[in-house]
Amino acid sequence: MSSAMSALEGLMVLEISALSGAVCGRVLADLGAEVIKIEPEGGEPFRRSAPLVKTALGEESAAWLAFNHGKKSVTLELGTADGDRQFADLCATADIVITDWERVDIDEMDRLEAIARKANPALVFTEILPFGRGGPYERYAATDTVLQALGGHLYLNG
């Protein structure tokens, strides 16, 4: 890496996500942001998703390795007093929080956002949801195929 400043150097991002948010975090890390992945005790379940590859730590998900490269990781048990306090401490110095529907449901997003905003009102809190907020499907999960079908893309592909 060169001594020139990266585009997002100095930016701290907290990521609480599985695959959807991991892609976003990877892009920000590649641009120079410090991205800290918040995992539950025992590690993010996505770490064990197929296909698995052998690593020095055992077997890990190939997608996990691809989309979490360049990130730091911390284990917090969110939803406990200690975990929420540690999350608030991280939020106090962070710039962005990324959450996604695969890891955190909407009620938990709301709870975490309240903690984050209390610790740092200037924080950007993001939610990656298949159908966004406010519509009839806001609490629905979706696969890529479902989203392509609803967007009309499958009409072109069959």
pLDDT digits (tens, 9 = 90+) for 56-79: 888 989 999 999 999 999 999 999
What is the rounded CA–CA span in Å between residue 104 and residue 127? 9
Q: Which of 8, 26, 34, 23 is nearest to 100 (CA)?
A: 23
| Residue 29 pLDDT exceeds 70 | yes
| Residue 138 pLDDT exceeds 60 | yes
CA of 101: how far to CAs of 85, 106, 140, in Å?
Answer: 23, 7, 9
More confident residue, 109 or 60: 109
What is the rounded CA–CA span in Å between residue 1 and residue 49? 31
> Maximum CA pair distance of the chain?
50
Note the pTM of the prediction, 2 decimals.
Answer: 0.88
Helix, coil or strand: residue 130: coil
Query: Residue 33 is which amino acid?
Result: A
What is the rounded CA–CA span in Å between residue 78 and residue 98? 15
Q: Could you give phi then psi for residue 88, rounded to 5 degrees?
A: -60, -40
| Residue 4 pLDDT exceeds 80 | no
Average pLDDT, the chain: 92
What integer is the mean pLDDT of 19-45? 94
What integer is the mean pLDDT of 82-103? 97
| Residue 50 pLDDT exceeds 60 | yes
Residue listed under structure tokens 């200690």: 82
Residue listed under structure tokens 């990781």: 73
